[in-house]
């Protein structure tokens, strides 16, 4: 029988009536055998996600020894969900008491944060009449803290082999010491992908609050076009660059298993959604640009030195400084005599920037060293761009007409992506100008 693994995000599970919708979706197709669930998200824009409430509980447990006051908000969320769902015989109070005690005792941020998914999965399993299978027994991390696929996949496959339907919490697993460890924020998308790969699913459905992957962030560009079909490669570029509808790392498990992903809207299940295909199954859609995404708050360090390219080991020396200081870099555009490092500004706080500059001066004696701060990166992504002459010309003309000053350009070797560095303040203007150029619609400014 066909097998679909469904992941439901926090926006789809924020309250009892939403969980009721999710149950209808799952019951509507018997192929939907496994549900991977997030913690309840925001019910309205000023609301707080349960995961954030739980990080507060962790802080309270560390600072005062008891999270009781902070945990009251978590207690209210789950008690009202259980009431709304009419689960009279489900003893949520005891489960919450036990959870509160454990948060106090363990004093682990990951453990506390993971409880949103754990509790929600237990409630949803009770609602559906499906088996609850704890992610702590399925998903494992290795000694470096990376997902351990060799250990996890056989365990998941074996465990789920005889279970026709199960609810599995997303976001966490177990580390080598046996403690609960979470993925980074938004990581339930990765858990869903892992389960889909382990059971060799036919499809990984990712249910959220938008009707698919949109060509630009809907909070910045009004009513952007929906992308019908997108390749894993394009999706990886866009999600990594800030299109956070799907966690950038969630692509890897399903990609290895050639399993397509479908983004669907819990609130409009009748909408077709976006199909994400392995690159070899993907046929170009005729669109030059598939999507645009970006992120703010980068710092660029420009290093210039004559005959840099003739100096063996120049880049290695610079990169080993970053490695020693534990600083990740995002991009490294190079010219004949220049090398730039694009780094998330948060890594450079607390004197790290000055320290790096000092070390670079000492190690490679540049002719010129310059720093640009408050830079945003915007990526324009599409398989069609490489083959089409004049794409960059259109992009840069559109930016110049919109009055956006381009501070840096980086075209990845895949020719799938042109990244521009601009001032943080120009970010929204830049996204809208590129969207207008390639999608040909008047874009109203939503922020202004
Ligand atoms: P979930 O709770 O289901 O995991 P997320 O909040 O993580 O949902 O992701 C969905 C949100 O991502 C949407 O509500 C939307 O505001 C935002 N988003 C940002 N960029 C895009 C994009 N290109 N396409 C669709 N949604 C996007
Ligand atoms: N609940 C976690 C978060 O808020 C994980 C997820 O929703 O995917 O980041
Ligand atoms: Mg998400």
| Residue 208 in contact with ligand 1 by CB distance below 6 A | yes
pLDDT tens for 190-232 read 999 999 999 999 999 999 999 999 999 999 999 999 999 999 9
Nearest CA to ligand 2 atom 8: 186
Integer Cα distance of 11 and 49 in angstroms: 9
Contact indicator for 45, 66 with CB cutoff of 8 Å: no
Q: In the structure encoding, which two tokens stand for residue 398, read together?
A: 């559109």
Confidence category of residue 446, pLDDT binned at 50, 70, 90? very low
Question: 210 C-alpha to center of ligand 1: Å?
Answer: 7
Q: Which atom of ligand 2 is nearest to the CA of 39?
A: 1
Question: 39 C-alpha to center of ligand 2: Å?
Answer: 6
Q: In the structure encoding, which two tokens stand for residue 52, read together?
A: 């954030």
Handedness of CA 385, 386, 387, 391 (dihedral sign): positive
pLDDT tens for 162-201 read 999 999 999 999 999 999 999 999 999 999 999 999 999 9
Nearest CA to ligand 2 atom 5: 186
Integer Cα distance of 10 and 119 in angstroms: 13
| Residue 161 in contact with ligand 1 by CB distance below 6 A | no
Q: Which atom of ligand 2 is nearest to the CA of 189?
A: 8
CA 269-274-280 angle, to 5 degrees, is: 145
pLDDT tens for 393-425 read 999 999 999 999 999 888 776 778 899 999 999
Integer Cα distance of 22 and 283 in angstroms: 32
Contact indicator for 272, 212 with CB cutoff of 8 Å: yes
CA 91-97-99 angle, to 5 degrees, is: 105
Q: Is 178 exposed, middle or buried (0-12, 13-18, 19+ CB in 10 A)?
A: exposed
DSSP 11: G
Q: Which atom of ligand 2 is nearest to the CA of 186?
A: 8
Question: What are the beta bridge partners of residue 221?
Answer: 445
Ligand 2 cavity residues, CB under 6 Å: 9-10, 38-39, 49, 51, 116, 170-171, 185-189
212: left (phi over 0), alpha (psi -120 to 50) or beta: left
The pTM of this model reads 0.90
- Counting ligand 2 atoms within 8 A of each CB, the residue from 14, 170, 173, 182 with the most, and so the one to mutate, is 170
**What is the average pLDDT value for the chain, to the nearest integer?**
93
């Amino acid at each position: 029988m066909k097998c679909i693994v469904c992941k439901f995000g926090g926006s789809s599970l924020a309250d009892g009536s939403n969980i009721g919708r999710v149950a209808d979706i799952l019951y509507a197709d018997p192929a939907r055998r496994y549900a991977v669930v997030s913690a309840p998200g925001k019910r309205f824009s000023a609301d707080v996600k349960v995961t954030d409430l739980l990080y507060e509980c962790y802080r309270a447990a560390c600072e005062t020894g008891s999270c009781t006051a902070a945990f009251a908000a978590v207690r209210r969320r789950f008690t009202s969900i259980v009431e709304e769902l009419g689960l009279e015989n489900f003893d949520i109070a005891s489960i919450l008491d036990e959870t509160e005690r454990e948060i106090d005792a363990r004093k682990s941020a990951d453990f506390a944060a993971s409880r949103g998914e754990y509790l929600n999965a237990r409630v949803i399993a009770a609602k559906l009449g499906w088996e609850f299978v704890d992610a702590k027994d399925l998903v494992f991390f290795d000694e470096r803290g990376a997902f351990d696929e060799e250990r996890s996949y056989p365990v998941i496959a074996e465990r789920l082999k005889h279970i026709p339907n199960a609810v599995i919490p997303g976001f966490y697993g177990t580390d080598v010491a046996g403690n609960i460890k979470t993925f980074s924020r938004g990581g339930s998308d990765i858990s869903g992908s892992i389960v889909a790969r382990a059971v060799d699913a036919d499809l990984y459905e990712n249910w959220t609050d938008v009707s698919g992957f949109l060509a630009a962030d809907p909070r910045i560009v009004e009513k952007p076009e929906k992308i019908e079909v997108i390749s894993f490669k394009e999706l990886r570029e866009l999600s990594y660059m800030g299109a956070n509808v799907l966690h950038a790392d969630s692509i890897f498990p399903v990609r290895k298993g050639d399993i397509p992903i479908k983004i669907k809207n819990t609130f409009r299940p009748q909408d077709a959604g976006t199909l994400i295909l392995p690159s070899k199954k993907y046929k170009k859609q005729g669109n030059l640009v598939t999507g645009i995404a970006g992120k703010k708050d980068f710092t660029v360090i420009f290093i210039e030195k004559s005959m840099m390219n003739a100096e063996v080991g120049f880049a290695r020396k610079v990169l080993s400084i970053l490695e020693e200081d534990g600083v990740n870099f995002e991009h490294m555009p190079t010219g004949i005599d220049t090398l730039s490092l694009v780094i998330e500004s948060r890594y450079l706080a607390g004197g790290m920037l000055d320290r790096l500059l000092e070390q670079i001066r000492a190690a490679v004696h540049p002719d010129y060293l310059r720093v640009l701060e408050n830079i945003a990166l915007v990526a324009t992504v599409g398989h069609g761009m490489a083959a089409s002459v004049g794409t960059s010309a259109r992009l840069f003309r559109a930016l110049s007409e919109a009055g956006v000053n381009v501070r840096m350009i980086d075209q990845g070797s895949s020719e799938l992506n042109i990244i521009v560095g601009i001032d943080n303040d120009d970010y929204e203007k830049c996204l809208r100008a590129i969207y207008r150029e390639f999608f040909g619609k008047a874009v109203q400014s939503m922020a202004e």
